[in-house]
Amino acid sequence: MSDGVKTILFATGLCLVCSLLLTMAATGLKAFQRENALVDRQKNILQAVGAVESGRSYPADAIKALYQSSIQCISIDDEGQVLSAKAAPKKVLPLYLYRADGQVKAYIIPVDSRGLWGRIYGYLALDTDGSTITGFSVYQHSETPGLGGEIENQWFQRNFVGKQIIDAEGNFVSIKIAKGAVEDAVRQDLKPNYVDGISGATMTGKFLSQGLEDILQTYEPVSVHFRNQGMLKLPENALVCQPPS
């Protein structure tokens, strides 16, 4: 057998063994990883409303129990009406409600935005006044660690708390990420609508601003309802939302 053939045979054999091992690892561990991802998403929802602290670790059971008792996921249509299980709607949007002491304290919008290197997934929580942000969290992204990756850090997410998605006249303006610190980069009257940007991550900020605006625009009917009439009317058998897979 010539050397060339031997080399090719060896390479083929090695590739087969490696791919077999990788397949085994990936399929064997999938159940655990999925469970972890689910708990992580629940933790991020709770984090967006401030029910758990970011950067601290909690036992999975505690997260699940807290989620069960305080978060309700309902489905709405694109006009902001809560759907009941009987309705057969065309377009369904998931919406989470946060309850504490028997009161709805906030509603949470799932965020799915473009980033510089991939999608950014997270949650944006708004107060029941329909305009004040109570928190923002990110559970999955592919931005560069240390630059755009800072979006998953506490200091960045904490900036969102208390910001407004409407201007002084009550018109929808969304929330935007400034280029630099809000203090220096933004006009006085726009400050409530901007959060501090990340240096070295201008593009991530630009895409995330756009993504947040699109999503808030989609959910604007719900926010308008909260602003004008308060809490949404929940039908007896509200359609449970489909959690993203």
Partner 1 sequence: MSTALVKITRTETYRTVSDALWQNNPISKQVLGICSSLAVTVQMNTAIVMALALTAVVACSNLIISLMRKMIPRNIRIIVEVAVIATLVIIADEVLKAFMYNISKQLSVFVGLIITNCIVMGRAETFAMSNPPLKSFVDGMANGIGYGSILVGVSFFRELLGSGKILGFPVVPQALYDMGYMDMGLMLLAPGAFIVIGLFVWLEHAILNR
Q: Shortest gap between Cβ of 64 and partner 1 (angstroms)?
A: 14
The answer to whether 64 and 42 have CB atoms below 8 angstroms apart is yes
Contact status, residue 139 vs residue 41, Cβ threshold 8 Å = yes
> Side chain identity at 52, as an amino acid letter?
V
CA geometry: angle 200, 176, 153, nearest 5 deg: 50
d(CA 164, CA 149): 24
| Residue 122 near residue 111 (C-beta atoms within 8 A) | yes
Residue 149 in the binding site for partner 1 (CB under 8 A): yes
Give the residue, chosen from 11, 168, 231, 240, that forms a contact with partner 1 under the rule CB under 8 A: 11
Judged by beta carbon, residue 55 or residue 244, the one nearer partner 1 is: 55
- Taking the C-alpha atoms of residue 171 and residue 28, their distance in angstroms, rounded to an integer, is 51
Task: In angstroms, give the least distance from the CB of 172 to partner 1.
Answer: 33
* Residue 62 binding partner 1, by CB under 8 A: no
Regarding 85 and contact with partner 1 (CB under 8 A), the answer is: no
Q: Which stretch binds partner 1 (CB under 8 A): 28-36, 85-93, 123-131, 198-206?
A: 28-36
The residue ranges that bind partner 1 (CB under 8 A) are 3, 6-7, 10-11, 14-15, 18, 21-22, 25-26, 29, 32-33, 36-37, 39-40, 57, 145-146, 149
